[in-house]
Structure 1
Amino acid sequence: MNTQPVDVVEWMLPRHPRSASRARIRLLRQAFEWQIDVESAEIALLLLSELVTNACHHARGPRDRLIGVRLLLSTPTLLRVEVSDASPALPVPRHAAPDEESGRGLELVAALAASWGAHPRGEGWIGKSVWFELALPSPAWPAAVDINS
């Protein structure tokens, strides 16, 4: 069985409030290229935005540290999105009170993703990675269509 991802895309973003929107734009472009269905792409955009926003606001580390984003199309029906930052503190989901304006990001991730988690980055790296996976519907069209068939 092949366990290698079908495709991987990575980029780095500054720890800045605008990075969430920049990440969404890049993910949207990649979702189009990978022919990910609209509903799955919208969910991925929302969840990526939550993770990047968390990395910008909550990651305790030097301000000049970058945020890493990695997209893996593991199979044609599984998308994994990872967000890495310089903080070693793993996220802890909490239940926000109805009158609170924030604090629901990880609840959204848990509710909408097939799975999610966080782990310290590997040896030689600082910080952590927070990830989620989305189950994608079977592609409606084959990746390559031979019009001469």
Structure 2
Amino acid sequence: MATTTDTYLPAQVLWPATPRGVHQARHSLERQLARWDLSDLADVAGLVLTELMTNALQHATAPGRKTGVSILRTPAGVRLEVHDSIPLTEATPTLTPAPLDAEQGRGLTLIDTLTAHQWGVTPRNGPGKITWALCPHPTT
């Protein structure tokens, strides 16, 4: 489940637990991917980060807390980590099918598909947990 990393940017950036914070984090990710010459990952990684952060915002961020994001460059692509404030024992992201008429509930299914099942949840030091996903380089 763990992925070897060669670069952290920075270990964690805290974003407001708001839709605007999600938007800001996605744009920050796009800028970093461009600096790393990995712009080909921007669409998929941006969507995955948006889904991870939205899940944390809706289900796993205590009032008044921010959402942490780590972007890690890996040999396979980029690993995205979203650090929230609710322990793994209280709110574990679980892949479940959404009803066809549901307007929500497909985020983890989308993440699972876009990352080829390379995502998971781990505890972290301090309060909360880390939900992570590996966005691999597109195959040609």
CA RMSD of aligned residues (A): 1.7
Q: What do the CA deviations read for 1:94-114 (whole angstroms, capped 9, x no partner)?
A: 111111000000001100114
Q: Helix, strand or coil: the match of 2:47?
A: helix
The one-letter code matched in structure 2 to 1:119 is T
Aligned residues between the structures: 131
What TM-score results when the alignment is normalised by the length of structure 1?
0.81
Q: Are 1:117 and 2:116 matched, yes or no?
A: no
The one-letter code matched in structure 1 to 2:132 is W
Q: What do the CA deviations read for 1:44-101 (whole angstroms, capped 9, x no partner)?
A: 000000011111111152x1111000000023x3210000100112211111111100
Taking the aligned partners of 1:79 and 1:98, their CA distance within structure 2 comes to 31
Per the alignment, residue 53 of structure 2 pairs with 52
Identity %, equivalent residues = 38
Q: Where does structure 1 lack aligned partners over 5 or more consecutive residues?
A: 139-149
Q: Helix, strand or coil: the match of 2:19?
A: coil
Taking the aligned partners of 1:25 and 1:43, their CA distance within structure 2 comes to 13
Any residues of structure 2 matched to 1:22-101 within 5 Å, and which? 22-38=24-40, 40-59=41-60, 61=62, 63-75=63-75, 77-88=76-87, 89-101=91-103
Q: Where does structure 2 lack aligned partners over 5 or more consecutive residues?
A: none
The one-letter code matched in structure 2 to 1:120 is P
Taking the aligned partners of 2:56 and 2:30, their CA distance within structure 1 comes to 20
Is the 1:118–1:128 Cα contact (8 Å) retained in structure 2? Answer: yes
What TM-score results when the alignment is normalised by the length of structure 2?
0.86
**Higher gyration radius (CA):** 1
Taking the aligned partners of 1:34 and 1:60, their CA distance within structure 2 comes to 30
Is the 1:13–1:66 Cα contact (8 Å) retained in structure 2? Answer: yes
Taking the aligned partners of 2:33 and 2:27, their CA distance within structure 1 comes to 10
